[in-house]
Structure 1
Amino acid sequence: MITRRTATRMADGRELIYFDDSEPYVSGGATRRLDDPRPLPDRFGPEPSLPEMRQDPLTGEWIPMASHRMNRTFLPAADSCPLCPARPGAAYSDGEVPDTDYDVVVFENRFPALLAPPDGTAGEAWSVDGDPLWPARTAAGRCEVVCFSAEHRASFADLSPRRARTIIEAWADRTTELSRLPGIRQVFAFENRGREIGVTLPHPHGQIYAFPFVTPRTRLMLDRAAEHRARTGRNLLRDVLDAERRAGTRVVLTSEHWTAYVPAAARWPVEVHLAPHRDVPDLPALDDAERDDLAAVYPELLRRLDRFFVTDDGAPIPLPYIAGWHQAVVGEGRELGRLHLQVFSVLRAPGKLKYLAGVESGMGAWISDTTPERIAARLQEVGR
């Protein structure tokens, strides 16, 4: 599949990239609007105010602190959504995309939790209150927004395989580019969908975070994978996929190159993992056949999830979810990773959310409200 990539800059210096799969843009017969007429100030200004991160001495976790995010846009009306394309003939004011249409577009977040200094370095390091017990650093990563469609009321499940394929190309492109930035240790592409999840912009979009540290969940997974490798000589995620396919009871969808399954120790009310059959570390490592297959399998999985719950009269309830790509880290520990997608929801029944209990929030001791087999049985049922 041919996708045209066109990069430009916004008025405040942020990067914006169009990924086109439609004519006349994909062949180069026309170009999206590349100028940004907004009178935006430089995002850094004469004295840059950068987000910082502090290390918790009790867990070793890094905690980014970005106070400027307190005033970010919250649930705007459809006619003022900053992720929609500019309206033809209207004065371009606060929207993020200067053109009146697009296929897929990626741009730097205006309210990032992670932001590298303007010189592109990893930034400064210091100690809070001058005490070495509390190390602190510039949160020198990068946060990007990926708009899946120009249509405000669309969803990923609605997309054609061609458009889903373009998004896969964008994810792979950004994973490659962001992994090359100084100090980046992990790239995480994800989508939050639904007000119940805490989505502030309902336009169909996802995000990509390039972290300057390995996230806590990934660190735990790497430790377990390292133990498994030392004990067996094998890749833990490979063995998990093989075991799920052998058992078959929790497999909900399979294709030539991909298998979706409910993990045997699923913790969320609805949770599915989607993994490639071939061992690959990340999205850029997928070949064309695997990407084509994914562009058909992933939307089908999301459509099944949207039928998981129904109203009293049988109408499907769109599922609020978080979908995130687990990819191999950058640098040390990369050989232990294996690409897979995790999709989960906080909805445990129509109109009822799973709120974390005290032992879950306070101690990280999870209690499931269902069983993986029940989740899998429902997803198998709605796929018939």
Structure 2
Amino acid sequence: MAELRYNPLLKDWTMVAASRQNRPHMPKDFCPFCPGSGKVPDEYEVHLYHNDFPVLSSNPPKPDDVGGGLYQTREAYGKCEVVLYSPGHYDTIPDLSPNHMKKLMDLWTETFAKLDQDPNHEYVMIFENRGEEVGVTMPHPHGQVYAYPFIPLKVKTELEACKEYFVEKQRNLFDDMIAEEKRFGERVLLESEHFIAFIPFFTDYPYGAYIVSKQGKTAMTEFGEEEKQELGNMLQEMVGGMDQIYDKLFPYMMVMHQRPSNSDDSYEDFYRFHIEFYPPLRAHDKLKFNSSSETGGWAAANPTKVEENAEILRQCIKRYSNK
């Protein structure tokens, strides 16, 4: 059973996919993403793999006959792709060569471009779950791409806030965020010609870093070759630095926020491509769990001081870059 169910309280859709309960925890002596498994090419550098347990699909089944009245259901139309970073079972983003990282950037861009063209897709999200701490069941490094038939609520809220800010002030909210972070300085992690990385003033995760395009770009398809190379380098430095914090593989959720698909809005005026990290560690052996207040009220709480974390991560990035 796979379907969408409407939540009238939040004006949002819940994806229901009972089959995902059957996702396997891979045995340590077998990996379907490694060459020789019979599931992937015997030779590849980066590879697009169709999710075996998709919550969204291009040929979804009819919803169960359980709705009615205000309880709407929809077919779970969309796409769930898996992006394999490398044939190496332990090769995470910092381990890739610059040329290999560029191939990964290209695959992300090509996948976004293809899914973005489907008129039934309203939003395409590229993301990565890294580490058992965030529920990863497949240890071979990979990311995912979801194409939704709706705009996820968090993204929708963000878009609305950016548009309201532009209407009121005739300025891009991300430009003003960048200006304030640069003015203050202590939360800035990295900066290049086209991108800037910082832990924002308001983050609710201890190391919840952002990477933001400094120009009016709203999707990866708008980046030139130099920008893609630059963004790939910054991603490697960021993740490599995170791995230095506790001298171990640093768990995180990473999401690329891009403009919606198939919309008449002109997003370049008020929006901006950016990447958000949500790392759950608040200490070497302690996780940041959401409280009832955070989950039930969306009342975000950060148990650490942002500026101190930014200094730690900044020094760890330098240590990684000097290796």
TM-score (norm. length: structure 2): 0.93
1:325–1:340 CA contact under 8 A, matched in 2: yes
2:213–2:272 CA contact under 8 A, matched in 1: no
**Residues of 2 paired with 1:337 and 1:183: CA distance?**
22
Structure 1 residue identity aligned to 2:33: L
1:193–1:322 CA contact under 8 A, matched in 2: yes
1:132 aligned counterpart, secondary structure: coil
Size of the alignment, in residue pairs? 315
Structure 2 residue identity aligned to 1:317: K
**Residues of 1 paired with 2:140 and 2:265: CA distance?**
36
Structure 2 residue identity aligned to 1:150: P
Is 1:377 paired with 2:314? no
Is 1:246 paired with 2:218? no
Tell me which moved more, 195-204 or 361-370: 361-370
Structure 1's 333 and 240: CA in aligned 2 closer, same or farther, altered over 3 A? Answer: farther
Aligned residue among 193, 202, 205 for 1:268: 205
**Residues of 1 paired with 2:64 and 2:43: CA distance?**
45
Aligned residue among 15, 19, 32 for 1:82: 32
2:56–2:77 CA contact under 8 A, matched in 1: yes
Is 1:184 paired with 2:124? no
2:94–2:236 CA contact under 8 A, matched in 1: yes
Structure 2 residue identity aligned to 1:58: L
Cα offset, 1:247, TM superposition: 2.3
**Residues of 2 paired with 1:186 and 1:221: CA distance?**
13
Tell me which moved more, 108-117 or 141-150: 108-117
**Residues of 1 paired with 2:149 and 2:266: CA distance?**
15
Aligned ranges for residues 217-256 of structure 1 at < 5 Å?
Answer: 217-256=154-193
Aligned to 2:243: 306
Aligned to 2:302: 368
Cα offset, 1:126, TM superposition: 9.0
Query: What percent of counterpart residues are identical?
Result: 32
Structure 2 residue identity aligned to 1:151: G
2:240–2:317 CA contact under 8 A, matched in 1: no
Aligned to 2:286: 352
Cα offset, 1:127, TM superposition: 7.5
1:246 aligned counterpart, secondary structure: helix
Cα offset, 1:332, TM superposition: 4.6
- The Cα offsets for residues 4-39 of structure 1, whole Å up to 9 and x where unpaired, read as xxxxxxxxxxxxxxxxxxxxxxxxxxxxxxxxxxxx
Structure 1 residue identity aligned to 2:54: P
2:115–2:147 CA contact under 8 A, matched in 1: yes
1:222–1:333 CA contact under 8 A, matched in 2: no
Structure 2 residue identity aligned to 1:318: L
Give ranges in structure 2 of 5+ residues lacking alignment.
319-323
Aligned ranges for residues 83-98 of structure 1 at < 5 Å?
Answer: 83-86=33-36, 92=38, 96-97=39-40
**Residues of 2 paired with 1:278 and 1:193: CA distance?**
29
Aligned to 1:150: 87
1:270 aligned counterpart, secondary structure: coil
Q: Which structure is higher in helix share?
A: 2
Could you say what the CA RMSD is over the residues aligned between the two structures, in angstroms?
1.8
**Residues of 1 paired with 2:187 and 2:145: CA distance?**
29
**Residues of 2 paired with 1:381 and 1:319: CA distance?**
16
Structure 2 residue identity aligned to 1:76: P
1:193–1:320 CA contact under 8 A, matched in 2: yes
Cα offset, 1:125, TM superposition: 7.8
Structure 1's 318 and 101: CA in aligned 2 closer, same or farther, altered over 3 A? Answer: same
Cα offset, 1:382, TM superposition: 1.9
1:360–1:367 CA contact under 8 A, matched in 2: yes
Structure 1's 108 and 334: CA in aligned 2 closer, same or farther, altered over 3 A? Answer: farther
Larger radius of gyration: 1
2:209 aligned counterpart, secondary structure: strand
Aligned to 1:100: 42
Which is bigger in relative contact order (C-alpha 8 A, separation at least 6)? 2
